[in-house]
Chains A and B, each alone.
Chain A
Amino acid sequence: MLSRVAENLFWIGRYIERAEAVARMVDAARRMTALPAGAGWSASNEWASVLIAAGARETFGKSLEDVNAREAIHHLMFDLENSSSVASCFTNARENGRSIRFALTQDCWEALNGAWAEMRQLPRDVARGGALSNLIEWAKAKSAAFRGTMHGTMLRGDGYDFLRMGMAVERTDSTARLLDVKYHVLLPSASDVGSAPDHYQWLSLLQAAGAQRAYYAVQQADLSAQGVAEFMILEPRFPRGILFNLHWAVQTVSDLEAYYGQESACQNAVAGAANRLENMDIESIMQFGLHEFLTEVIERNNEIANLLGKAYGFAPAVEEDSQAEDAAGQ
């Protein structure tokens, strides 16, 4: 397989997951802002925190002091200037697919192309009641539709593996970011920790991750900050969890090794990252500092992506320019 094809498949996997992850972050903020505003802290905080966690602080281009909800939602859902907005993700996934058109099954291509076409027709006014939830549900459904078609139609081989690697890497990244949203939502004072707003914020995160029921089923305990962090980082059965996705990456790299009949230079890094988490408990993570820990997870995860690219010859990203428009006549 051409290295560029592998790279594009990897990025399709990432963008499809990122679209869903950003939608889920927006959902978390939506749920948080629906809480009764407590004394002394403004609802704009949630939007600022999601902008930071989604890596959109710079592209947002405005002060995060007093964020306007509509502007934040627009930037996170529709703004093509923000390369991680839901619209950008579906556009990029589709562009990546279009440039390797036949490395995907017809069904996979139609899922990408269909999501993109619908996205261009979506109502942009999310001020109406329920409009934002519909939009979030739409993004999650389109992401799920691609995953479903992919699992249902793609030949099990290197192409399928590169798509899955993109998904595993992106989910690790996005779950770390989703958890980090809570870090950036600054409660007015330390005494608010454990207060009702604090509790609701953790609950919102769980709900946005679609993990509320699973949490109670597994933890068998009341909601607590530590419990949520433990579940989302260390629970090996939760499919958006960090450990789960590191295990998924280990398995996928093994599949690639089996497919090519040779060892992969990135297996050590992937296995190492999974191993480290297996040997940690939530107490040591909290002691280390949740934000610091998550930052490290994100950095290690980036390293895994780089090593994967190196192992399979991904060329440095070359932007195709306008020359392509007129380079073939007749």
Chain B
Amino acid sequence: MAAYCAGGKRSETYSAQSDWTPRFNCSVVIKSEALYCMSFDEMNHEGKVREAYTTVADWLAQTDIETLRERQVEAEAIFRRVGITFAVYGEGGDPERLIPFDLIPRVFSAAEWQIVDSGVKQRARALNLFIHDVYNDREIFKEGIVPTSIITGNDAYLECMEGFSPPLNVYTHIVGIDIVRTGPDEFFVLEDNARTPSGVSYVLENRSTMTRLFPDLFSSGQVRPVDGYPDQLRNTLRECAPPACKGTPTIVVMTPGHFNSAYYEHSFIADEMGVNLVTGSDLFVEDGLVFMRTTTGPQRVDVIYRRIDDAFLDPKMFRPDSSLGVPGLMEAYLSGGVTLVNAPGTGVCDDKAIYCYLPEIIEFYLGEKPILPNVPTYRCSEPDSLAYALDHMEELVFKEVHGSGGYGMLIGPTATKAEIKSYAKRVKETPRAFIAQPTLALSTCPTLVENGIAPRHIDFRPFALVGKDVRLTPGGLTRVAMREGSLVVNSSQGGGVKDTWVLNT
């Protein structure tokens, strides 16, 4: 996913702000012009420090920039030593990179969190009801609310899931909802990640690093803890035990291996839950049940939290060349011998073509208005929208319907004429492969950069857990576009992360 912003221009940074900079013990002068003037700043709004940021602002005022930098180096050393890295193979350079960690937290007041919490839970419920409907009765299509073509042309749709109901009818147990903010009360959902969303290890590690480096910041007890996540995840997975499981379910986390970019997270989650981290070669299927190979012989496995894509799960069912999966796994799953989390085929609900129907989907299944609105979206598959989008390319952001990771986008306001021209050609060739959205002025948050502390654009990914209940840890992953003026927060594109605070009040 990607976030972006555009607006007018200014060369103003935090140092130029009136009321808290004088207390600021560092000089911040960024000469170049940035696109921050339209943006809502999370900390400093209309010349005042917003209430939720009082602690952060006081702390920044008392801390000189050199100390912050020293701590930043310390934080990176911790990440490096513990091995919290992001593996990038095949690009040359260091194969294991650090995601830049910014020390200055992003803060939600209790009231703001209330909106996010209820909106995310609502969305997670609706997504699961929708997937079940897609693979069973298809009422939403019969009612004409969503066109069937959206499913028939979708690579993520799996025929083998038709007529199957997983335990509790839950498909996407772990959902990452990407949210952006443009004003005090304006939150938008930018994207749903219903397959194998990653990033939760950073939520926990960022907090653990912050409490280690700055224990005083947490001494008032105002910041809600995030370390309940592993217990909540374990409980969610247990609740989804398959019919064949009697007694306490045995849970494993399944990884494609340590070459995968998110490997650290896979092993971290397994360890935090106290369960085994397995690869496909550790598992085998016999008589419709799944076993892992242990030093004392085969041991039954009931729930697999798999962090491997559908196509690689089972060479008998999907890609025959997959050496990462387990032959016969899908058969065991469909006969109730094991639960796969998230369910195969959940990808039908999270591409950008479905995204624009989410408001209707929420209303249809829950009879409720969406608490968190979508970003208005033009579907290029529709002639009117296509015409509008092509006429307004300089103002819009274009995305590939099936793209992810911030690749393949066009950001109109910052693109060159030539880029726009060649992109327009692609859109005209296959309109249904694209959507367009207006440029949002993404909110900014103070961030430690080369020249001092300056605003940088952020987005937010909370992780909802769906079992018998929908659970949401008070926190999530705040991503920040570290480069000045940059609108792209993806880790694969040089984005960084921040600790995210949810306050008790």
Rounded to whole angstroms, the CA-CA distance of A100 and B122 in the bound complex is: 37
Q: Is the CB of A158 within 8 A of B295?
A: yes
Q: Is the CB of B256 within 8 A of A102?
A: no
- SS class, residues of chain B in contact with chain A: loop
Q: Is the CB of A327 within 8 A of B281?
A: no
> Is B81 part of the contact surface with A, judged by Cβ < 8 Å?
yes
Interface string of A293-330 (1 = CB under 8 A from B): 00000000000000000001101001011111101111
Q: Is the CB of A325 within 8 A of B267?
A: no
Q: Is the CB of B81 within 8 A of A2?
A: no
Rounded to whole angstroms, the CA-CA distance of A330 and B193 in the bound complex is: 7
Within 8 A of A (CB), among B122-177: 176
Q: Is the CB of B259 within 8 A of A322?
A: yes
Smallest beta-carbon distance A105→chain B, Å:
12
- Which one of A4, A98, A114, A324 has the greatest number of beta carbons of chain B within 10 Å? A324
> Is B308 part of the contact surface with A, judged by Cβ < 8 Å?
yes
The size of the chain A interface, using a CB distance under 8 A, is 34
> Is A219 part of the contact surface with B, judged by Cβ < 8 Å?
no
Q: Per a CB cutoff under 8 Å, which of A109, A313, A323, A328 touches B83? A: A109
Q: Is the CB of A324 within 8 A of B324?
A: yes
- Inside 8 A of A117's CB, which chain B residues have their CB? 80
Q: Is the CB of B282 within 8 A of A328?
A: no
Q: Is the CB of B257 within 8 A of A324?
A: yes
- CB-CB nearest in chain A for B321: A323
- CB-CB nearest in chain B for A112: B83
Interface string of A1-15 (1 = CB under 8 A from B): 111101000000000
Q: Is the CB of A323 within 8 A of B294?
A: no
Smallest beta-carbon distance B482→chain A, Å:
21
Q: Is the CB of A110 within 8 A of B281?
A: no
Rounded to whole angstroms, the CA-CA distance of A106 and B307 in the bound complex is: 24
> Is B58 part of the contact surface with A, judged by Cβ < 8 Å?
no
- Inside 8 A of B321's CB, which chain A residues have their CB? 323
- CB-CB nearest in chain A for B283: A2
Q: Is the CB of B323 within 8 A of A327?
A: no
Within 8 A of B (CB), among A160-208: none
Smallest beta-carbon distance A155→chain B, Å:
14
Interface string of B88-111 (1 = CB under 8 A from A): 011000000000000000000000
Q: Is the CB of B82 within 8 A of A315?
A: no
Q: A3-B282, A323-B312, A327-B312 are in contact. Are A114 and B267 (CB under 8 A)?
A: no
Q: Is the CB of B294 within 8 A of A3?
A: yes
- Inside 8 A of B90's CB, which chain A residues have their CB? 322, 325
Smallest beta-carbon distance B194→chain A, Å:
9
Q: Is the CB of A4 within 8 A of B271?
A: no
- Inside 8 A of A315's CB, which chain B residues have their CB? 281-282, 293
Q: Is the CB of A6 within 8 A of B295?
A: yes
Rounded to whole angstroms, the CA-CA distance of A6 and B405 in the bound complex is: 36
> Is A101 part of the contact surface with B, judged by Cβ < 8 Å?
yes
Interface-facing stretch out of B112-120, B195-203, B233-241, B363-371? B195-203
Interface-facing stretch out of B272-280, B389-397, B410-418, B423-431? B272-280
Within 8 A of B (CB), among A96-140: 98-102, 106, 109-110, 113-114, 117
Q: Per a CB cutoff under 8 Å, which of B278, B296, B323 touches A323? A: B323
Q: Is the CB of B297 within 8 A of A330?
A: no
Smallest beta-carbon distance A120→chain B, Å:
9
Q: Is the CB of B260 within 8 A of A2?
A: no
- Inside 8 A of A325's CB, which chain B residues have their CB? 89-90, 259-261
- CB-CB nearest in chain B for A312: B295
What are 13 A-B contacts defined by CB distance under 8 Å?
A1-B295, A2-B278, A3-B295, A100-B277, A101-B277, A113-B83, A262-B296, A320-B279, A323-B256, A324-B324, A327-B311, A328-B260, A330-B193
Instruction: Pick the 3 closest A-B CB pairs, nearest first.
Output: A102-B271, A327-B256, A324-B257
